[in-house]
Amino acid sequence: MNKSRPFAMRLSPLALALGLTLSAPIAAQQTTVYTFNIAEQPLSNSLNQLAQQANMNLIADAKHLKGLAAPAIHGQISIYDALDHALKNTTMSAEVIDNNIIIKPSQTTKHSPPLSADNSVSTPSPTKDKEDIEVIVVKGTQLHLTRADMDRTSGLSNSDIFSTFSGIEANNIRNEAGALDIGIRGVQGEGRVPIFIDGSLQSTHTNRGYMGTSDRTYIDSDLISTVNVEKGPAAKASPFSAGAIGGTVTMSTLNPADILKEGQSLGALIKLKTYNNNSMPSVSDDPVEQEYYQVSQGHNTTDFENGAMVFATAYKSDDFGAVLAFSDKKVGNYFAGSHGYKDFVETVEGWRGTYEIHPPVSPGAEVVNTSFESESYLAKFSYDFSDEHTLEVNTRHHQQAAGEMLATYWHKYKEGDYKRLPDGTWVEIQAGEEAMPQWQLGTAHVNSVSAVYHYLPTANPVIDLKVNVWKTHAKLDQYNALASNLGSNALQYTHQYSNERAGFSVLNVSSFKIADQIPTTLTTGYAWQSEELKPKEGYEENFHTKYPTSRDGKRSSNSIFANTQLDFNDLELLLNLNLHDAKIDDHQATLTHDFDAKLDLTFQASYLLSSNTVVSAKYSKAYRMPSLYEGTVSNEVFSYSPDYPISPEQTNSYEINLESSFNEVLVANDSFSLNLNLFHIEIKDMLTTANMPKTDPNAYSWQRTYAFTNYDSFTLPGFELKMDYKNQYFYASASMINYQDVEMCSNALADIGDAQRCNSEGFLGGLTPLRIPPKKSYIANMGVILLDDALDIGLIYKKHTEKRHPGGFLSATGVDALEYIPSGHQLDFYLDYTFNETLKGYVSVTNLTDQYKVSTGSIVAMPEPGKTITLGLEIKL
């Protein structure tokens, strides 16, 4: 059940030369299975179709394939076994490097896996020739995350799976109700980085008060099989690329290969996981008592109170595949680290002398409103009607209860303060006691369904047709409203609303040669999307104001796209076009926004500099239409205002990428790769939040409008550097991202706040400072593989530089906003051990040195989890 993505046919010395230099002795650990429908035909055509059906790039020299034939390949098998079968009885060998298939001459004769009665590959070969088919991960702007990688970075939040990628940020990770909200290179939110799961989009625009808005995607990360991340606007045609000016995240949930043992047609998977450093809070139903929740000041590290469980079963035959899975996860409020707390203590000079301001959460103390409970159900089916027609149907249900809090309630009551009891009396807080607001959990219920039809004639290279239909529906009951009449404290922020999305796309890939010389791939398609936000019926009875907090509107968009890829001897050219529009109807304010169609253009060129080095350059001019959330009126803190009309964003981005790879560097059969990426992102007319003056001439100066408005520009230049080394027993990688001269510009905001038109910190009264990343971030990973690849032990180190916000940028709002976030670091440990084909176990320790640190996207001093131990067990039956 692989994801839809057009392939790139590359029969050129450019690609071949790079491939020949990338050789390593370590066999692939991935078990991804694809559905192949390939007729017996010339080898070159067979390999093209194989790469196409696996959504991978083919790298080969056509002269080596001339006159060779390949047998038919049908059924669900891994890419390695498909290649082994296609190349049998030839003198060619194959390597799989990241998302590339590399074909090169070899002195080894292939041996095919066993065939079924219909001459198709029946099961994956258990004795694959490791010298012929190898995997080397080369990191660039395309990132790939496997199930094993996710287990290594297993933390208390679903977003922790992205923590080892440089340039990937998770928005306000600890106060997002366990949801995903991902940014790439400082570009984030409102559809700039959409997350697609099994071909469907489920992101909910959520009000976070003075913390801004979030673009939440709800899923249990334990049900994810693979994650692919593309940084920047898409270079290849995709139904998902309209508006994705920051990048795209595509996920695939569990498939049969994640569950079944080698050779199995029916099997089951049980995954058990538990963690320490958390405790489930006991929350009162009384909103007054919730305001004064007594915070625990410590936790026994040997207490493993909560955890997660996955049960999945799968079936696979030649023409049918199925997965049924259930997951249950429970995490309590976590506890902060203890080392580095003093870095967050602010010393202030006042008229009474010098005093200190401490963060609300003490070192090692419980962090309120961070608990999370979820249940998820997954059902996936695929059926091959024939060798040319395939249908996949995926359904997913996710329900959860999770803590969250608005920024104005991030404060502490301590000794000497008074707390109010439910009967109305006041009592003094005693020594050693601390209290913070702890609300009841908000809920989300999400249903998703998608169907993909694939038509692939075995003897027609100009037709590879995919049709995708999907729909998601979310019902939410959360604490992020305003002016609810249901009660005091947390209850005044309660509201219920729904978010529904639907989409349709059709895509075709054609492969041919221009003038019988230039291999060409042409991809064309159309995509339609619709989104509707609306409050629960009868909302009028629950609010004091004219409008509810929830939006009530609908947005629809259309996209027509085309992509051409041309391959010359030492040069590859790619041109991507996407014409898209949007329309927003606001049912509450009876407003309609029609945004005319805009044309996105991306051009990319790759050139062979030497036998082991390729340089590529990419330019993109892309637009993002305003989201439904930005274009509709409500009673939320930030809303659309007719006084400040909005327009689409325009992004101009430039990239230069240099990649070199070497082997036999230190010892025999080792490999080393180096990747340098220079990028320059400029978003003109960037839409974001701002505190604007009232346009009414009779309004007082203190009367303000918290609205979405277009800034002049947001510029993010910088570079990324990535190095990888591996041999048979040892591997290491190091990466960094360095932003240089980040600028946010706005004439209107500069005049209001008496600031420079362009600055590197953002503006007062808005939330732009949260979007600016720290200047530098580093990630390093080092590990060893022992005992015939059964044992994998390693360390991951992460570090970021300090970050500053404008002084008092949310003054007069009741928010004690962070103005300075010190530099922070974290060291993680992991150990994976495979006992046998049935049993695997792993241990991970995140924040090994128990640092007190705060996420760089936080608006308040909400610390990250302290040292947390996760124990996991995986059983295949």
Poorest-pLDDT segment among 253-257, 487-491, 725-729, 810-814:
810-814
Q: Are residues 786 and 867 in the same domain?
A: yes
**With 60 as the cut, is the pLDDT of residue 14 above it?**
no
Q: Are residues 614 and 730 in the same domain?
A: yes
pTM above 0.75, yes or no: yes
Give the residue from 816, 823, 871 showing the smallest Cα distance to 851: 823
Q: Which residue has the higher pLDDT, 701 or 16?
A: 701
In a domain, 1, yes or no: no
In a domain, 98, yes or no: yes
**With 80 as the cut, is the pLDDT of residue 172 above it?**
no
User: What pLDDT is attached to residue 815?
Assistant: 72
Q: Which residue has the higher pLDDT, 828 or 176?
A: 828
CA distances from 35 to 30, 73, 123, 156, 338 (A): 16, 9, 12, 35, 51
pLDDT tens digits, one per residue of 326-357: 999 999 999 999 999 999 998 888 777 888 88
Q: Are residues 467 and 525 in the same domain?
A: yes
In a domain, 175, yes or no: yes
**How many domains in the chain?**
3
Q: How many CA atoms lie within 13 A of 189 on its CB side?
A: 25
Q: What is the mean pLDDT of residues 621-629?
A: 95
Most confident range, picked from 84-88, 504-508, 548-552 = 504-508
Q: What is the mean pLDDT of residues 617-628?
A: 95
User: What pLDDT is attached to residue 12?
Assistant: 45
Q: Are residues 199 and 337 in the same domain?
A: no
User: What pLDDT is attached to residue 291?
Assistant: 92
Q: Are residues 245 and 256 in the same domain?
A: no
CA distances from 561 to 451, 462, 618, 791 (A): 21, 17, 18, 46
Residue 35's pLDDT band, with cuts at 50, 70 and 90, is low
Q: pLDDT exceeding 70 applies to what percent of the chain?
A: 87
The helix/strand count (H/E) of the chain reads as 9, 55
Q: What is the mean pLDDT of residues 705-727?
A: 92
- 3-class secondary structure, 393: strand
User: What pLDDT is attached to residue 237?
Assistant: 75
- What's the CATH code of the domain at 35? 3.55.50.30
Which of 820-830 are b and which e, b meaning 16 or more Cβ less than 10 Å from the residue's Cβ? Answer: ebebbebbbbb
Q: What is the mean pLDDT of the chain?
A: 84
Tokens of residue 615, six digits? 């340089």
- 43-53 and 79-86 helices, crossing angle to 10°: 170
Distance between CA atoms of residues 327 and 67, nearest Å:
51
Interior CA angle at 801 toward 799 and 806, to 5°? 140
Poorest-pLDDT segment among 7-21, 596-610, 794-808:
7-21
Last residue of a domain, one of 114, 136, 158: 136
Distance between CA atoms of residues 643 and 631, nearest Å:
12
**With 80 as the cut, is the pLDDT of residue 770 above it?**
no
Residue 449's pLDDT band, with cuts at 50, 70 and 90, is very high
Q: Are residues 173 and 108 in the same domain?
A: no
Residue 634's pLDDT band, with cuts at 50, 70 and 90, is confident
Residue 212's pLDDT band, with cuts at 50, 70 and 90, is low
User: What pLDDT is attached to residue 72?
Assistant: 80
* 67 backbone φψ class: left, alpha, beta (φ>0; ψ -120 to 50): left
Burial class of residue 357, CB neighbours in 10 A (0-12, 13-18, 19+): exposed
Q: Are residues 247 and 292 in the same domain?
A: no
User: What pLDDT is attached to residue 515?
Assistant: 79
Poorest-pLDDT segment among 6-15, 652-661, 737-746:
6-15
Contact (CB, 8 A) for 350 and 168? no
Residue 861's pLDDT band, with cuts at 50, 70 and 90, is confident
The residue whose two tokens read 């009592």 is 427
User: What pLDDT is attached to residue 120?
Assistant: 37
**With 90 as the cut, is the pLDDT of residue 480 above it?**
no
Residue 522's pLDDT band, with cuts at 50, 70 and 90, is very high
Residue 110 structural domain: 8-136
Q: Are residues 272 and 216 in the same domain?
A: no
What string of DSSP letters covers 701-748? TT-EEEEEEE-SEEEEEEEEEEEEEE-SSEEEEEEEEEE-S-EEE-HH
Last residue of a domain, one of 113, 136, 159: 136
Q: What is the mean pLDDT of residues 721-745?
A: 93
Q: Are residues 157 and 129 in the same domain?
A: no
The residue type of 399 is Q
In a domain, 858, yes or no: yes
Last residue of a domain, one of 251, 278, 307: 251
In a domain, 847, yes or no: yes
Nearby residues of 424 by Cβ (< 8 Å), 6 or more positions away:
none
Q: Are residues 53 and 184 in the same domain?
A: no
pLDDT tens digits, one per residue of 45-96: 778 778 767 767 677 766 677 778 888 887 667 788 888 888 887 888 887 7
Q: Does the CA dihedral 492-494-496-501 come out positive or negative?
A: positive
Q: Which residue has the higher pLDDT, 127 or 574?
A: 574
- Tell me how far the alpha carbon of residue 181 is from its chain's centroid: 7
In a domain, 379, yes or no: yes
Residue 343 is given by DSSP the state G
pLDDT tens digits, one per residue of 88-147: 878 888 877 656 787 878 754 444 333 333 333 333 333 333 333 433 333 346 777 777
The residue whose two tokens read 């057009």 is 6
User: What pLDDT is attached to residue 857?
Assistant: 80
Contact (CB, 8 A) for 98 and 136? yes
Phi, psi for residue 638 in degrees, rounded to 5: -110, 130
Q: Are residues 306 and 163 in the same domain?
A: no
Q: Are residues 237 and 298 in the same domain?
A: no
Q: What is the mean pLDDT of residues 644-658?
A: 95
Poorest-pLDDT segment among 23-32, 165-174, 795-804:
23-32
**With 60 as the cut, is the pLDDT of residue 29 above it?**
no
Alpha-helical (H) ranges within 524-627 are none
CA distances from 579 to 8, 468, 582, 592, 623 (A): 22, 19, 11, 21, 10
User: What pLDDT is attached to residue 762?
Assistant: 78
In a domain, 3, yes or no: no
In a domain, 2, yes or no: no
User: What pLDDT is attached to residue 807?
Assistant: 64
CA distances from 386 to 318, 455, 457, 463 (A): 11, 10, 10, 16
Residue 380's pLDDT band, with cuts at 50, 70 and 90, is very high
Distance between CA atoms of residues 74 and 126, nearest Å:
18
Tokens of residue 737, six digits? 């991202």
Distance between CA atoms of residues 520 and 513, nearest Å:
5
**With 90 as the cut, is the pLDDT of residue 650 above it?**
yes
- What's the CATH code of the domain at 236? 2.170.130.10
